[in-house]
Amino acid sequence: FSLKTQMIRNENKALCKDPKQRIDIEKVKEFYGRIKYSLTSDQEKALSEILKDMNSTSLMYRLLQGDVGTGKTLVAALALYANTLRNDQGALMAPTDTLARQHFLTLIDLFKDTDLKIALLVGSTPKKERTQILKGLINHEIDIIVGTHALFSEDVNYSSLGLAIIDEQHRFGVNQRDALKNKGRAVDVMYMSATPIHY
């Protein structure tokens, strides 16, 4: 798995992103300095590496792995926040409605004192609400979208998808993961997993 990941990372280094506004790292630090959670040294290290990748001219392809309760979601949330600082949209995809709703509520609470617009899109989203969300995505009225497989449905389009985060990535097929990142141009990708992967 490590060899395969390194090969993909090397391939991505040859793929340059469109010119993007650099993320102001100090603004990210200022934000997480105000929240009620303190980052562990491992979280700070992971976030630092992620932000470095996102500010690189090459595509990010990263796996964030850790046991349940180690704070992967907080690191992912801060990466999504950083992504908005370069005026891009972020997507966080989970394999089940329950997990997607859990992530959505976490982000709503974390970003309650900001102007960020966050939406939830799952298979059971009512048609009228879904239509409004699809419009909000294409018009860039939504900064962060959380959801399930619905995020890469054919009728879902983004104004400027810059970061795709896929939780429990082992529960999605390769084509499904690609379907999400292909919704944008030169999208940074991060996978999250609490499951050790063996080949």
**CA-angle at 94, arms to 93 and 96, nearest 5°:** 140
Question: Which residues, in sequence order, are bridge partners of residue 192?
Answer: 64, 167
Instruction: Give mean pLDDT, residues 25-48.
Output: 91
Is the per-residue pLDDT at 168 higher than 80?
Answer: no
At 17, is the secondary structure helix, strand, or coil?
Answer: coil
Q: Identify each DSSP E strand in the chain by its residue range.
A: 61-65, 89-93, 118-121, 144-147, 161-167, 188-193
Provide, rounded to the nearest whole percent, the portion of the chain with pLDDT above 90: 59
**Tens of pLDDT, residues 18-29:** 667 889 999 999
Residue 94 has pLDDT above 50, yes or no: yes
Q: Which residues contact 109 (CB under 8 A, 6 or more apart)?
A: none
Average pLDDT over residues 50-70: 86
Query: What are the start-end ranges of the H helices in 55-168?
Result: 72-84, 97-110, 127-138
Give pTM, 2 decimals. 0.86
According to DSSP, the β-strands at 144-147 and 89-93 are: parallel
The amino acid occupying position 71 is G
Residues 28 and 33: their CA atoms lie apart, in Å, by: 8
